[in-house]
């Protein structure tokens, strides 16, 4: 099964996709993106992802982008790929223009890229059973993490540090000593039977899976609160949980050299995972209750 790209409306094998060197996404990271999980050939949480994409484009004052056309192209590319279980990556750059820091004036046509590829969940599935290990790392990212841009060098540095330390993910710590989130997942923790998370704002991405989890916990009667915690407070929590588009729900058993809770996946993470799977299964069966 080949990986397909749709570049500005033209579908091709991903190896054939090319952009000019003057593309502002290549030169400046002047681009936004989204990733959707594909189940049975369909985009999970599609409306939420495209709503966040619209917000990212607006926050960066992009020229108009035809989102309805983009959605159609996403569906067509998925169908052409034959991918049943996978991901769809969507990236929009400000377009091609001579290199200058100022935005092109007049605006140029944005560059639109869609990539559909299979996703193997087996490694993440093992982490759901064993629990993930995290490395704490300074948060080196820019000050508008609420916009989903391709400026991910800070994330890459932290991810590489975690990999070299034999960890599965990094938890980011801001200059005031507070936990923000992880490099490619939202971070939640449990204290006293309550799920908590960093307050939404410029320091973290408004995670679509995090928002889903907040809806899932309502019938479970698990309360939620936004709060800031230090690394010491995080490691003293009863449970720590990663949630994300491909991660779905993964418990954390260790941060640095400190054990979380009993050092094994906790009960709240288990309940969240069961609720998540039921939500996906209900959506696929035509019984959407939370998506």
| DSSP per residue, 61-124 | TPPP--HHHHHHHHHHHHHHHT-SSEEEEEEEE--B-SS-SSPPSS--PPEEEEEEEE---HHH
- The pLDDT of residue 291 is 52
- The pLDDT of residue 289 is 65
Which domains, and CATH codes, for the chain? 4-119 (3.30.470.10), 124-284 (3.20.10.10)
- The pLDDT of residue 287 is 78
Q: How far is CA 254 from CA 162, 182, 218, 239, in A?
A: 12, 14, 28, 10
pLDDT tens over the chain, length 291 residues: 789 999 999 999 999 999 999 999 999 999 999 999 999 999 999 999 999 999 999 999 999 999 999 999 999 999 999 999 999 999 999 999 999 999 999 999 999 999 999 999 999 999 999 999 999 999 999 999 999 999 999 999 999 999 999 999 999 999 999 999 999 999 999 999 999 999 999 999 999 999 999 999 999 999 999 999 999 999 999 999 999 999 999 999 999 999 999 999 999 999 999 999 999 999 999 976 665
Catalytic residue among 24, 73, 141, 148: 148
Enter the pTM of the model.
0.96
- The pLDDT of residue 68 is 98
Please state, as a whole number, how many other Cβ atoms lie within 10 Å of the Cβ of residue 227.
Answer: 14
- The pLDDT of residue 2 is 80
* 242 contacts 169 by C-beta, under 8 angstroms: yes
143 flagged as catalytic: no
Q: Which residue has the tokens 């094994």?
A: 264
Q: Return d(Cα 228, Cα 234) in angstroms, integer.
A: 9
Q: Return d(Cα 28, Cα 233) in angstroms, integer.
A: 37
């Amino acid at each position: 099964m080949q990986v397909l790209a749709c570049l500005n409306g033209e579908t091709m094998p991903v190896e054939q996709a090319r952009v000019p060197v003057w593309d502002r996404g290549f030169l400046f990271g002047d681009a936004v993106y989204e990733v959707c999980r594909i189940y049975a050939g369909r985009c999970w949480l599609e409306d939420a992802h495209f709503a966040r994409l619209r917000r990212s484009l607006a926050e960066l004052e992009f020229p108009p982008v035809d989102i309805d056309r983009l959605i159609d192209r996403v569906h067509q590319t998925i169908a052409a790929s034959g991918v049943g279980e996978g991901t769809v990556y969507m990236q929009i750059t400000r377009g091609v223009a001579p290199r200058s820091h100022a935005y092109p004036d007049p605006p140029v046509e944005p560059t639109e890229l869609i990539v559909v590829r299979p996703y193997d969940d087996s490694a993440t599935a093992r982490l759901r059973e064993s629990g993930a290990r995290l490395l704490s790392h300074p948060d080196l990212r820019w000050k508008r993490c609420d916009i989903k841009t391709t400026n991910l060098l800070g994330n890459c540095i932290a991810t590489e540090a975690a990999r070299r330390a034999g960890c599965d993910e990094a938890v980011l710590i801001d200059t005031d000593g507070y936990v923000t989130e992880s490099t490619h997942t939202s971070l939640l923790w449990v204290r006293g039977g309550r799920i908590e998370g960093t307050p939404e704002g410029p320091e973290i991405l408004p995670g679509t899976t995090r928002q889903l989890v907040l809806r899932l916990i309502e019938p479970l009667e698990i309360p939620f609160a936004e709060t800031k915690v230090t690394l010491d407070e995080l490691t003293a929590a009863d449970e720590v949980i990663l949630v994300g588009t491909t991660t779905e729900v993964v418990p954390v058993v260790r941060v640095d050299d400190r054990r979380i809770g009993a050092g094994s996946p906790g009960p709240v993470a288990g309940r969240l995972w069961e609720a998540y799977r039921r939500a996906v299964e209900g959506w696929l069966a035509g019984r959407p209750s939370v998506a």
